[in-house]
A and B are shown apart, each in its own frame.
Chain A
Amino acid sequence: MADLLMRVDTDVLVIGSGAAGMMAAIEAASNGSRVLLADRSLIGRGGATVMAQMTVAVALGSETPDHWTHHYEDTLSSGRGICNAQLSQLVCEEGPDCIRIMDDWGVGWARKDGHITQVMAPGHDRPRCVYVDFLNTGPAVSKTLRAKLNKISDIRRVGDLCVVELLKCDDEVIGAVALHLGSGAPLIIFARATILATGGLTRLYHRNSASNNMGGDGYALALRAGAFLVDMEFVQFFPIGHLAPRLVGMDPIMWDPFRYKLGGRLLNNRMEEFTQRYGVAEDGKYVIARDIGSYAILKEVEAGRGSPHGGVYLSFQHCSEFELRNAFGPVIDRLASNGIDLTKMSVEVAPMAHYHMGGIAVDVQMQTRVPGLFAAGEAVGGSNGANRLSGNAVTEALVFGRRAGRSAANYAKQVAARPDHAVNIDAALDLIAAHSPPHDLNTPELIQTLQTTMQEDVGALRSRTGLERALSQIDRLTTAIGERPAGNSNKFDMRGLDWLDLRNMLLVARTVAEAANSRTESRGAHQREDYPITIPEWSFNQVVGLHDGRLSLSGFSAPKSVTANAK
C-alpha cells in the first residue's frame, strides 16, 4: 500500500511559511540542504507575518545610541521575570544583523535623513522600532522573503499542504504525513530534519487579530511527537483591537501606532478616561503595557461602563483633519471607505487574542527534546516570558528562523541514511483516508463554540470557576468530534479540514486552560480574578507534555541569565 502513495524525500522539511519558516528555508538551503517548504495555505500569505502592520524592535542604534543589552533588559522586564533569558538574548543580540540582512534584500525600512527611522513603542526605553510605511511592515517582510526564496533552486515550495502528523521512528522525527488540500490525497514526506514554523494559537479565540491558520497545529504536532510545550498559559491580548463599526480591508490591530503618534484617547461610555483607575494614567504618553491595557478595558466593561459592542471607545476627535491626514496617510481613505470619519466619531475597541508567548520548548539551537525536530518563530515558547515586548515578534521570527534553518541543516548532514518506515504512519494515513462511515458533524459550529468558550473563560481575565467550565466544555467537544474524521476525503473538503483542525485546537486549548488553572497567581498576560497578585514563588515556568494520551504539567525554571551563545 505504502508504495502506491505519494512520497517526497528531503533533507529539511519546514512547516509554515511566515517570516520564520521562510527565513529557516533560506538558511537551511544556504547551508547545503534540500528543503521542502510546506504551508497549509499559500506560500508567504497565510501566516501572521503578512498581517503585521506594526513595528519591529531592534537595537540598531540608528536613531539614538543603543545596544542589544538595553533591548534585552526591556524584553526581560516586559516578560515579568520568567523569560528564558538565553532565548531573549538570542533575539536581541542577533536582531540587528537580521534587520540589516532584510534591508540588503530590499525590504524598504522607512528612512529619514539617510538613516533607518526608529520609533518609540510601549515598554522600550528609547526609540527602537523600525517599520515600513504605511502599515506595510509585515507584507513587505513577506514579499522580500518570498522574492529571495524564489531564486533558490534547492527550496521546493508547496502550498495547500496541511501537515496532519509528524512521523516517528525510534523516538526521532523523520518527516510528516500531510493532506494535500487540492486533491484530498495524503502525502508522505521523509525528512532528515523537520522545523515547525506554524505560528501561534490565536484562532482558539473568538476575537483575534491573526489569520485563520493560527489554530496552534504546530503545538499539537510537537506534543504528539513527544516534545514539551512551555508557558502555555500566557496568551497575549492586544488591548485595542478594532471592534466596531465593521472595518474591512484593515488589520484589526491597526490603531496602536496612531495612538502613540496622536495620543488617541481611551474613553468609557461616559466619555471619561479610565486607565488611571487600574494604576496607569495616560499622562499624555499613551504607552500602557499590553497586559495592563487589556485588564483595564475588561474591568471597565465589567463595571457597566463599556461601549455598545462590549469594548471601550478610542477617540481622535481632539486631532485636526490635517494632523490625522499627516499621521494616517492613505489609511484615512481606507477608513473613509468603511464609513469612519475620525474627526466626527470614536471607534470601539476591545482586547483581542494577538500572540502566544508560550510554545514549543527548545534550546538556543531551536532544537526540541525530540531528535530531528526543531521549531522557529512564534511557535517557540520562552523568549517573551509572561508578556511580549511590542515589536519583538518579527525580530524573533527572523532570528529564530535563521538559527533553526542552520541547526536543521547541520543535523541533516550528520544523520545516517533515513529509515523509510515509521511507527505511526498507518494511523496518520488513516486520518486522511477517512474511509469510516461519514458522520454528520457541523465542524465550523464546533470551532465557533470552542472559540467562544476560550474567549469567555480562558481569556484575559480568568478564574477557577471559568477555567474549570472551559475544561468541561473541552471534554464535551473532544467527545463530540470522536476518533474518526468528519468529511469525505474529497478535494478541498473543508469539513474534514475543520475536523483535523479541531483535533489539534482542542488538545492545545486544554494545555492553555490546564496551565492557567494551575498558575494560582496573576502575572503578565495571565490575570486571575481569584488570585490577583503576582507571587514571587511563582517565578518559574510550567511545562506540558503528552504521555499515553494524557497531558502532564510540571514546573521548571528557564535559564535566567545571559550566556555566550553558541554560534
Chain B
Amino acid sequence: MTEYARLTIWRGETIDAGRWETHEVPFEAGQSVLDGLRWIRIHRDPTLAIRFSCINANACKECMIELDGNTVYACTARLQSREMRLAPLSNKKLIRDLVTEIAPPAERFFKTNQTA
C-alpha cells in the first residue's frame, strides 16, 4: 500500500543562505529516508545533494543527517506518513544541501577550512 511522506529538506551551500524545500514522496512500509531522497533525485530534482555509498547495509556510515533535529543514518531511519524535517549535520562543516564534511581531518584534501 502506498503512503506519502512530506520531506522538508534544507537546501543550500552556506548555512546562512539556505532554504527549506518540501516534496511529497510515495513509499511502502519499511522503506528508508534514503529511499525517499533517492526517489526525489530521480523524480523531482536531480540536483539534490546527499552522501551515501552502501544504500541500505548501514556499513559505510556515510549518510548521517539530522531528522527532526536528531542525528540519524538516512539508510536506517524509516519513512513515515507525516512531515519529516531533514537537515545537514549541524556540528559539521556544510558542503551542500544534506552533505557535510565528515571525513577525518587527515583524509581531507584541504586540511584547513580553505577552499579552492
Which A residues fall within an 8 A CB radius of B? 6, 41-43, 45-46, 50-51, 53, 138-139, 150, 157-161, 180, 182-185, 187, 211-213, 245-252, 338-339, 441-445, 448, 490-495, 498
Contacts and interface: CB of A to CB of B under 8 A. Distances in A.
B56 A250 contact: yes
A41 B116 contact: no
Nearest to A338: B30
Contacts of A251: 57, 59
Nearest to A250: B57
A251 B103 CA distance: 23
A334 to B, nearest CB: 9
Contacts of A442: 42, 46
A495 B41 CA distance: 9
A138 B59 CA distance: 9
B80 interface: no
Interface string B21-61: 00000001111100100100111001111111111111111
A42 B110 contact: no
Contact of B60 (A45, A187, A441): A45
Nearest to A253: B57
A295 B31 CA distance: 29
A448 B50 CA distance: 17
Nearest to A47: B53
A444 B58 CA distance: 22
Contact of B59 (A6, A51, A339, A448): A51
A356 B75 CA distance: 25
Given A248-B30, A442-B42, A161 B96 contact: no
B106 A249 contact: no
A157 B107 contact: yes
Contacts of B2: none
A494 B49 CA distance: 6
Contacts of A494: 41, 46-50
A139 B96 contact: no
Interface string B1-29: 00000000000010000000000000011
A445 B54 contact: no
A246 B96 contact: no
Nearest to B74: A248
Q: Which 7 A-B pairs have the closest CB atoms?
A: A246-B30, A185-B116, A46-B53, A211-B53, A249-B58, A251-B57, A183-B116
Given A180-B109, A183-B116, A42 B102 contact: yes
B115 interface: yes
A34 to B, nearest CB: 15
Contacts of B106: 150, 157
A212 B54 contact: yes
Contacts of B35: 246
A158 B46 contact: no
Given A42-B62, A51-B57, A157-B107, A246 B46 contact: no
Given A492-B95, A492-B99, A41 B58 contact: no
B116 A249 contact: no
The listed residue with most B CB atoms (<10 A of its CB), out of A160, A182, A248, A251, is A248
A251 B55 CA distance: 9
B81 interface: no
A246 B31 contact: yes
Given A160-B103, A493-B49, 6 more contacts: A42-B62, A42-B102, A157-B107, A158-B109, A247-B56, A252-B56
Given A51-B59, A495-B47, A41 B109 contact: no
